[in-house]
Structure 1
Amino acid sequence: MKRFFKNLFGSEEVAEESFSTLGVDMHSHILPGLDDGSDSLERSLELVQVMKSLGYHKLIMTPHIMSDFYRNTPEGIREKLALLQNAVKEAGIEMELACAAEYYLDEGFLEKLDTGQELLTFGDNYILFETSFLNEPLNLREAIFKMRSKGYKPVLAHPERYTYFYGKFDNLVELREQGVLFQPNLNSLTGYYSAGAKNIVEKLIDNGMVDFLGSDTHGLKHTDSLQRVLSSKYLSKAFALPLRNSQL
């Protein structure tokens, strides 16, 4: 059931009850002790429980992999996944847990592509990647070409947060035409990150340029904000798009 509320102009708008329409979150930093997300198994358990209360039944957790800061490996990530899976089972929480990664587009990532190293993907060989928020990488198109030539389906994490796209929406259209899928962050719908990010995510939704929606949960501050997202009129508009979350 959806809730209705009056906006400032007196007209009715729809508020979602939960994120059960999505069901699956494919971008978070809930695995313990791997990056700037959860710092303990206890906090990870708490976050899993909160995500369940928000309507999710599956979490695909995506720790950062960055050459300079977070040198995570598939083996290390799977080890923490198994640890959390056991803890969730012991706690009696019904939640399916899986892992992938959020790859930072740097030379280390390109080297992994060139040398055929194992990369953590989700779903239909989707690979989640991010870039600098301020400066467009000179090798962005090269990396996209390499990912696709290796059989990966590139998913750009939070495209609305890259300031180098502000005022250049056509560049996002161009990336999509090159085969890049887009995953905005849900909290951008409330202006959590910035007014600019909110403007871009609304434009992406208006133009049908959203393939996945992710929570990008690092901690309780993000899950608290997700409660406010449920009242966003753009959330209902996004849910009307052919999102791929439920297929994962």
Structure 2
Amino acid sequence: MNNFTEHFIDIHSHILPGIDDGAKTMGHSIELLTNMYKLGIRNFVCTPHVIEGVWENSTEKILSTFNELNAVVEQTPNLKEINIRVAAEYMMDENFQKLLENKDFLPIKDNKILVEMSYLAPPANLFETIAEIQIKGFVPILAHPERYKSFHQDLGVYQRLKSAGCMFQINMISLSNYYGKDVHESAIWLLRNNMIDFIGSDLHHMRHMEVIESVVTRKNMMEMVTPIIYNNHQLK
């Protein structure tokens, strides 16, 4: 069953094997891709975490792991139509400042980079960092803004971030209650207020896959994100 248009590109996924908290093995990576393919998804950007002290993935390590996965995908008969690219999801921590200084990023496309922050509290220098990213010639896409609990008590921060030049990427999983009711409500509020620029799966494992499969059968949810799915096409 094909539930997606040709315009959808999954710009946020953790399907590279053994590199972060996503797919653990090459077999897991292929399993996830196979199940996403069955939903009609053909285009993926792998975005492993880059987090100081947790997932200290260098650009070289990410590219090497991606090349290994891509070689297997190319030899997998039922995945012939799949296209995968590689980028990363960067935590805005102290190490991020070093990467920023050296412009050492793997963008989603052109100069757009995927960034994240702590779910509990934003960095004290959040707006300064957003400005520095742009000064260096990049455009920040904030991953899953609906998941940052500190923002739920101050919805105005979303508009301030947008005004500061930050783009937003919502998680498909947030269209369910998987992360909790508060995250779901935040996602719907952001969508209804036209603040979301892109959508991604943030796929890590088969539990996420099951949630995504349930979301795409919900007509009201899919109708709400259809314009965002078309937006993703500009990142092809």
2:41 alignment partner AA: Y
Of 63, 76, 79, the residue aligned with 1:91 is: 76
Alignment map for 1:219-230 (pairs within 5 Å): 219-230=205-216
Distance 1:22 1:189, change over 3 A: farther
Partner of 1:64: 49
Which residue of the other structure, out of 114, 123, 128, is the alignment partner of 1:137? 123
Deviation digits for residues 173-198 of structure 1 (CA, Å, limit 9, x no counterpart): 11001110000101111111011111
SS in 1 for 2:114: strand
Contact between 1:156 and 1:183, CA under 8 Å: does it hold in 2?
Answer: yes
Deviates more, 1:180-189 or 1:48-57: 48-57
TM-score (norm 2): 0.94
**Which AA in structure 2 matches 1:57?**
R
Equivalent residue number for residue 8 of structure 1:
none
Q: For residues 101-180 of structure 1, what are the structure 2 equivalents within 5 Å?
A: 101-114=88-101, 116-180=102-166
Cα distance change, pair 242–190 in 1 and its aligned pair in 2 (3 A): closer
Instruction: Give distance in 2, aligned partners of 1:139 and 1:22.
Output: 35
Query: Any gaps of 5 or more consecutive residues in structure 1?
Result: 2-16
* Distance in 2 (alpha carbons) for counterparts of 1:243 and 1:164: 30
Which runs of 4 or more aligned residues in structure 1 lie more than 6 Å from their structure 2 counterparts after TM superposition? none
1:21, CA displacement in angstroms? 5.3
| Percent identity of paired positions between Structure 1 and Structure 2 | 35
CA deviation profile, 1:4-25 (whole Å, cap 9, x unmatched)? xxxxxxxxxxxxx513354210
Q: Which of 19, 37, 40 pairs up with 1:52?
A: 37
Alignment partner of 2:192 out of 185, 206, 229: 206
Distance 2:15 2:23 in 1: 5
- CA RMSD, Structure 1 to Structure 2 (Å): 1.5
**Residue 87 of structure 2 aligns with which residue?**
100
Query: Which has more radius of gyration?
Result: 1
Change in Cα spacing, 1:156 to 1:86, as seen in structure 2 (3 Å) is same
Contact 1:188 1:197 (8 Å CA) reproduced:
yes
TM-score in terms of structure 1 length: 0.90
Aligned equivalent of 2:65: 80
Q: Distance in 1 between matches of 2:7 and 2:153?
A: 30
* 3-state SS of paired residue (1:183): strand
Contact 1:211–1:242 (CA under 8 A) maintained in structure 2 = no
Any unmatched runs of 5+ in structure 2? none
Cα distance between partner residues in 1 of 2:228 and 2:5: 15
The alpha-carbon deviation at position 241 of structure 1 amounts to 4.5
Distance 1:163 1:118, change over 3 A: same
